[in-house]
Structure 1
Amino acid sequence: MTVHFIGAGPGAADLLTVRAVNLLRSAPVCLYAGTYLDPEVLAHCAPGAELIDTQGLDLDQIIAHCVRAHAEGKDVARLCSGDPSVYSALSEQKARLDAACIPWDVTPGVPAYAAAAAILGAELTVPEQVQSVVLTRTHARSTAMPETEALANFARTRATLILHLAITRVRVLAAELAGEYGAHCPVAVVYRASQPEQLVLRGTLADIADRVEAAELRQAAVILVGPALAESVDCAQSHLYDPSRDRTHITR
């Protein structure tokens, strides 16, 4: 048997990959994080599949379900919100499975920030303005951040900044970021991107905290900061598509 770590995407049942859907249809056991998942995603599971919500379980309890399924010869679909490469506890789970000699593989998914950008109709990189995207989070009651990854260090780059797990600290963070980006820098907050409860808030570093607090958002939201988030962006033309670019050397 194999434990399949599957990117469940941002929530919508139709934003899973074909590979993810096929794995869900064939797995007798599915572990999923109910906090962030639209229940419709589970409709892809096989009739009679064992569905286990992990939001109330610790890591050892989750792995125990995998060990038990392994002993029974059953594949496990381990659904991760967004994409398993970011904030999924993939490393810890892999280490425990390796120690138990249980095979595993990984299927990527649509990350929450990409779904948020699509909803906003935003390109996060704008020619000659911003060409980098920083994905990070902040520390409150969660795992400590490395000292070298202080938010101020990322802010100095003025790259498009994507903040996960940070919505409850938005007022403090906005004030901190305003020193580098400026108080009028565009900000967007997307709550439960692609799910029925989806909510989009637009503003600036000066007023986004008021909007978030008025909406009473406490979880499942992505914060996007930077000039690329302006609703109308004037930018230089990309060299790749510039009509004056010499294309005679391009082979077909």
Structure 2
Amino acid sequence: MIHFVGAGPGAVDLITVRGQKFLEQADVVIYAGSLVNPELLKSTKEGCRIYNSAKMTLEEVLDVMMDAEKEKKMTVRLHTGDPCLYGAIREQMDQLDRLGIAYDSCPGVSSFCGAAAALDLEYTLPEVSQSVVITRMEGRTPVPEKEKVASFASHGATMVLFLSTGLLDKLEKQLMEGGYKADTPAAIVYKATWPEEETHICTISTLARTAREYQITKTALIIVGDVVTHHRYERSKLYDPEFTTEFRQGITKTE
């Protein structure tokens, strides 16, 4: 059996209880290199075989999985954050389907959640933004034409950008081409929830300069939108004393 497990954003105690149990029981662990906190691997049992997939091809990963299955061993494929975001898991699962090998997926805490926690930020503020676009800049791996950053930027929603720290000059241009103003708040969160976490508030037009100033070149998330500075938002209706819900009768305001 192959268990795809989300390791969480970085902090050792942010793996799920289910994921931790799988890790403790595993005979084989294939982890996503420097993206996964190596402290997590200390919870594996004696004799567990551990592989760093940063140095492996898809075919080599599959060979390890197949060998483990032949030996009736349990394998954990340990991905960063939640495997469903930029985890390249579908291509592994399709090959496992072809080989008749069973697998399941254990969700994890994504780094975009860890980044929000680092900033004490709420992505969805009433009358500010009620949508979050999770995307990335186009680099060596292309993105569909209709999903270019400039296209998403035209909505003015909160944006969280993965895998884009090395492309910030281009990102600034695309965000402003799409409709964001140059002084729109932005943030760079480096290694969210790791001991070396850094957060830097800036604006869209100063993203590249800020990253250069703090020598951040990778392993960071970019957050864009007015929610970053959380000014001038509306109070939630859910907790408004005049608002009636299934569980509480609203109080009519008297003159």
Same-fold call, TM > 0.5?
yes
CA distance in structure 2 between the aligned counterparts of 1:22 and 1:152, rounded to whole angstroms: 42
Letter in 2 for 1:104: Y
Which residue number in structure 1 is paired with residue 193 of structure 2? 194
CA distance in structure 1 between the aligned counterparts of 2:210 and 2:137, rounded to whole angstroms: 20
CA distance in structure 2 between the aligned counterparts of 1:246 and 1:215, rounded to whole angstroms: 48
Which residue number in structure 1 is paired with residue 252 of structure 2? none
Letter in 2 for 1:75: M
Which residue number in structure 2 is paired with residue 54 of structure 1? 53
Which residue number in structure 2 is paired with residue 154 of structure 1? 152
Task: Tell me the CA shift for residue 175 of structure 1.
Answer: 2.3
Residue number among 166, 169, 175 corresponding to 2:167 in the alignment: 169
CA distance in structure 1 between the aligned counterparts of 2:9 and 2:245, rounded to whole angstroms: 39
Which residue number in structure 1 is paired with residue 83 of structure 2? 84
Q: Where does the alignment leave 5 or more consecutive residues of structure 2 unmatched?
A: 250-255
Task: Tell me the CA shift for residue 201 of structure 1.
Answer: 1.5
Tell me which stretches of 4 or more aligned residues in structure 1 moved more than 6 Å: none
3-state SS, counterpart of residue 134 of structure 1? strand
Per-residue CA deviation, residues 72-106 of structure 1 (Å, 9 max, x unaligned), is 10010100101011111111000011111110000
CA distance in structure 2 between the aligned counterparts of 1:239 and 1:63, rounded to whole angstroms: 50
**Residues 1-252 of structure 1: pairs in structure 2 closer than 5 A:** 2-142=1-141, 144-179=142-177, 180-230=179-229, 232-247=230-245
Q: How many residues align?
A: 248
Task: Tell me the CA shift for residue 228 of structure 1.
Answer: 0.3
**Equivalent pair of 1:6/1:108 in contact (CA under 8 Å):** yes
CA distance in structure 1 between the aligned counterparts of 2:168 and 2:181, rounded to whole angstroms: 15
Task: Tell me the CA shift for residue 248 of structure 1.
Answer: 6.6
CA distance in structure 1 between the aligned counterparts of 2:107 and 2:43, rounded to whole angstroms: 17
CA distance in structure 1 between the aligned counterparts of 2:208 and 2:85, rounded to whole angstroms: 25
Task: Tell me the CA shift for residue 8 of structure 1.
Answer: 0.6
- Greater Cα offset, 42-51 or 121-130: 42-51
Letter in 2 for 1:132: S
- Greater Cα offset, 38-47 or 123-132: 38-47
**Equivalent pair of 1:11/1:41 in contact (CA under 8 Å):** no
CA distance in structure 2 between the aligned counterparts of 1:243 and 1:122, rounded to whole angstroms: 24
Task: Tell me the CA shift for residue 225 of structure 1.
Answer: 0.3
CA distance in structure 2 between the aligned counterparts of 1:130 and 1:203, rounded to whole angstroms: 19
TM-score (normalised: structure 1): 0.95
Identity of aligned residues (%): 36
CA distance in structure 1 between the aligned counterparts of 2:175 and 2:104, rounded to whole angstroms: 38
**Relative to structure 1, is the Cα distance of residues 18 and 249 closer, same or farther in structure 2, using a 3 angstrom cutoff?**
closer
Q: Where does the alignment leave 5 or more consecutive residues of structure 1 unmatched?
A: none
**Equivalent pair of 1:178/1:185 in contact (CA under 8 Å):** no
